[in-house]
């Protein structure tokens, strides 16, 4: 019945008809060890873990091997293609990568898959660790051939294991010898036969299919029983979309082939079968390989672009989706991957990312030390708004080239749009809703939503973010600053500084870099407190030492030398810098806090709130001016 399904499925692929066969586990492993079975270019990476996860239905090696013990037969076929290379039969795996990985891993590490054994050793401390590791690394035939563990240890001539064995008392050695016999009995299939010679794999074998036929078989097999992801489908669909070249940009060509080699090398990790490795001298890059390598190239060069592997946990990659926008580019049909289209796509993307990168570097300069910041302080966008933003930038560049808007106008549009969109995520939903309507790059997830949004933008790209006014941006900043001000009593103050998010970085960076001499902007900058974090206060008033208004950016070397001293240290050391930054005067500072050799005390918490509130207003006013190029 299974073969009948494959014959029916294959009959539509240029009349190809597969043959069935049965291989023992030993035959399969031997062919793999001889490197006569490999994975094709479009093969999916393995998904299964080694062991079951509590409350998870995810497939795993342990459960599949247990199934084989129960049935002695794979039931569901492993599908492969057979070729002749140098007068030798070579097989390419089409469907069954997870099962092959499970079988071969169990063959090589049976006691790592089935761990319900040698309990007195596994749970008795570090003394037995090396022996347990040795057990986990013994393959199935070797373990099943052990008659006495004492003799096996002696044959290994391993000093560490020999010393360990000699340290065991007679009772423990007898326990291990008995346990070996018990485990060997458990690892035999019903009837007392060996697993590797008496468990068989059902195979369906296609003879010498072309690359195009191979991709069709791969797609058809997984259409119903084990649906392919959108990326798997594209990998198969675009396998033969290679009628283009990258000679228009030799530098890009070199880098993309380097990225492609790196991508395939990473796919080899933890795979039993040898995976595909491109031969750049004779093989042409195909459509999906171009999009993957181009995205990874841009990911290394531009902060906004995610690596392809991290980007495709849900759906297709950013560049796949961009190329598929037919109202801007071409669509993912193989015939659209021409040299002219590839050149236009890559040049458009790179030009837009250069513009966006310059904006990001102005908004979040790389000179700030991110030690006290959370990961989200590094400006990144989710996939859908990122796509919309890139398209917007491409269309704005077209207007600049046609002299319909200035370059400065383009930068202002993009700056306010990016900052506004990213800042919204730092408000809780009940506070965010009133601002969302003005976020022109935010849209629902899904192809139709993106198409609709992009359709609207390409009509009038210069109108993107036009409802974001200085007043609206100021209100947004004030709501965020208020939300992040979380006062507490002195007795409840945290032991560590709070991890800082993007709004902190934006306000502090824009203020510092807009006011200080250029030479200071090129130095590494650290976060410091106006009133030091170790401060205490005696009354029951609540303040927040990590509120934005109590934080400053300062030259990193100076910050380390200030320690818990008064802010006067900065005024004495770099008076020109402090005069530019307009922070509290020494007199104002001393009216709030006292320093002695052992402690710092805030005497006037109300004045503390007033001063830090004024600094926050100063930060906000500066940020709005910078974002709107006022």
Which is nearest to 545 in space by CA: 585, 603, 605, 594? Answer: 605
Contacts of 27 (CB under 8 A, 6+ apart): none
Residues 31/37, Cβ–Cβ less than 8 Å: yes
Structure tokens at 59: 């497939």
b/e map of 179-189 (b: 16 or more CB within 10 Å)?
Answer: bbeebeeebeb
- If you search the block for the tokens 């100063």, which residue do you land on? 618
Q: Are strands 593-595 and 600-602 parallel, antiparallel or unpaired?
A: antiparallel
Give me the pLDDT at residue 141, please: 96
- If you search the block for the tokens 């036969």, which residue do you land on? 193
Give me the pLDDT at residue 8, please: 46
| Mean pLDDT score of the chain | 88
CB atoms within 10 A of CB 334: 16
Dist CA 626 CA 630 (whole Å): 6
The model's pTM is 0.78
Structure tokens at 552: 């400053």
Q: Is the dihedral of CA 430, 435, 441, 443 positive or negative?
A: positive
Instruction: Compute the residue count for the chain.
Output: 630
- If you search the block for the tokens 């004024």, which residue do you land on? 614
Residues 296/262, Cβ–Cβ less than 8 Å: yes
Give me the pLDDT at residue 610, please: 95
Structure tokens at 186: 């458990």
Q: What is the DSSP letter of 313?
A: S
Domain assignments of the chain as residue spans, ordered by start: 2-109+195-225, 118-186, 232-468, 476-627
Which is nearest to 293 in space by CA: 318, 256, 334? Answer: 256
Dist CA 336 CA 325 (whole Å): 12
Q: What are phi and psi of 499, to 5 degrees?
A: -65, 130
Contacts of 423 (CB under 8 A, 6+ apart): 476, 477, 480, 502, 503, 506
Residues 39/93, Cβ–Cβ less than 8 Å: yes
pLDDT digits (tens, 9 = 90+) for 388-434: 999 999 999 999 999 999 999 999 999 999 999 999 999 999 999 99
Give me the pLDDT at residue 446, please: 65
Give me the pLDDT at residue 11, please: 44
Give me the pLDDT at residue 463, please: 95
Q: What is the DSSP string of 150-188?
A: HHHHHHHT-HHHHHHHHHS-HHHHHHHHHHHHHHHHHTS
Residues 68/24, Cβ–Cβ less than 8 Å: no
Structure tokens at 171: 């009772």
- Ranges of the chain with pLDDT below 70: 1-15, 41-44, 219, 221-233, 235-236, 280-282, 312-315, 445-447, 630
- If you search the block for the tokens 């993309």, which residue do you land on? 256
- If you search the block for the tokens 């299974």, which residue do you land on? 2
Residues 1/20, Cβ–Cβ less than 8 Å: no
Q: What is the DSSP letter of 192?
A: S
Alpha helix positions (H), 20-96? 25-33, 61-71
CB atoms within 10 A of CB 145: 11
Which is nearest to 127 in space by CA: 157, 156, 169? Answer: 169
């Amino acid at each position: 019945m299974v073969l009948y399904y494959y014959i029916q499925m294959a009959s539509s692929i240029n009349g190809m008809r597969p043959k069935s066969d049965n291989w023992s586990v030993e035959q399969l492993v031997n062919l793999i060890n001889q490197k006569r079975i490999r994975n094709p270019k479009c093969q999916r990476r393995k998904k299964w873990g080694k062991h079951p996860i509590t409350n998870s239905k995810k497939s795993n090696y342990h459960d599949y091997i247990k199934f084989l013990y129960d049935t002695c037969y794979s039931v569901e076929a492993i599908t492969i293609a057979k070729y002749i290379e140098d007068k030798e039969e070579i097989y390419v795996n089409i469907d069954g990568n997870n099962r092959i990985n499970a079988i071969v891993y169990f063959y090589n590490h049976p006691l790592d898959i089935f761990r319900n054994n040698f309990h007195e050793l596994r749970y008795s401390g570090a003394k037995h660790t090396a022996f347990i590791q040795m057990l986990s690394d013994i393959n199935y035939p070797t373990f099943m051939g052990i008659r006495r563990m004492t003799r096996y240890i002696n044959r290994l001539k391993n000093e560490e294991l020999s010393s360990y064995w000699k340290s065991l008392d007679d009772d423990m050695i007898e326990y291990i010898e008995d346990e070996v016999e018990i485990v060997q009995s458990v690892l035999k299939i019903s009837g007392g036969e060996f697993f590797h010679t008496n468990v068989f794999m059902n195979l369906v074998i296609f003879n010498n299919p072309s690359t195009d036929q191979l991709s069709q078989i791969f797609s058809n097999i997984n259409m119903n029983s084990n649906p392919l992801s959108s990326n798997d489908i594209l990998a198969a669909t675009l396998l033969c979309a290679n009628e283009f070249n990258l000679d228009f940009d030799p530098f890009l060509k070199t880098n993309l082939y380097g990225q492609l080699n790196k991508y395939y090398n990473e796919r080899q990790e933890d795979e039993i079968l040898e995976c595909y490795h491109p031969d750049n001298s004779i093989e042409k890059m195909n459509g999906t390989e171009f999009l993957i390598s181009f995205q990874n190239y841009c990911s290394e060069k531009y902060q906004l672009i995610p690596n392809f592997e991290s980007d495709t946990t849900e759906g297709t990659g950013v560049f796949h989706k961009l190329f598929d926008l037919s109202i801007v580019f071409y669509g993912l049909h193989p015939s659209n991957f021409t040299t002219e289209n590839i050149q236009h796509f890559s040049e458009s993307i790179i030009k837009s990312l250069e513009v966006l990168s310059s904006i990001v570097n102005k908004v979040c300069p790389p000179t700030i030390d991110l030690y006290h910041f959370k990961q989200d302080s590094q400006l990144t966008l989710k996939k859908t708004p990122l796509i919309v933003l890139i398209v917007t930038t491409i269309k704005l560049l077209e207007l600049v080239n046609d002299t319909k808007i200035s370059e400065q106008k383009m930068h202002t549009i993009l700056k306010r749009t990016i900052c506004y969109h990213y800042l919204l995520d730092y408000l809780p939903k009940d506070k965010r809703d009133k601002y969302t309507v003005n976020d022109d790059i935010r849209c629902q997830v899904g192809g139709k939503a993106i198409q609709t949004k992009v359709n609207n933008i390409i009509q009038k790209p210069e109108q993107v973010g036009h409802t974001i006014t200085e007043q609206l941006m100021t209100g947004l900043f004030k709501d965020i600053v208020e939300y992040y001000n979380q006062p507490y009593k002195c007795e409840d103050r945290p032991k560590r500084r709070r991890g800082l998010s993007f709004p902190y970085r934006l306000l502090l960076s824009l203020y510092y870099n807009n006011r200080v001499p250029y030479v200071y902007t090129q130095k590494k900058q650290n976060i410091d407190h106006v009133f030091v974090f170790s401060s205490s206060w005696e009354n029951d008033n609540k303040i927040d030492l990590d509120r934005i208004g109590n934080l400053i950016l300062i030259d990193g070397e100076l910050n380390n030398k200030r320690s818990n001293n008064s802010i006067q240290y900065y005024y004495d050391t770099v008076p020109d810098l402090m005069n530019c930054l307009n922070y509290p005067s020494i007199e104002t500072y001393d009216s709030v806090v006292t320093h002695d050799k052992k402690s710092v005390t805030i005497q006037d918490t109300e004045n503390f709130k007033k001063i830090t509130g004024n600094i926050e207003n100063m930060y906000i006013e500066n940020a709005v001016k910078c974002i709107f190029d006022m």
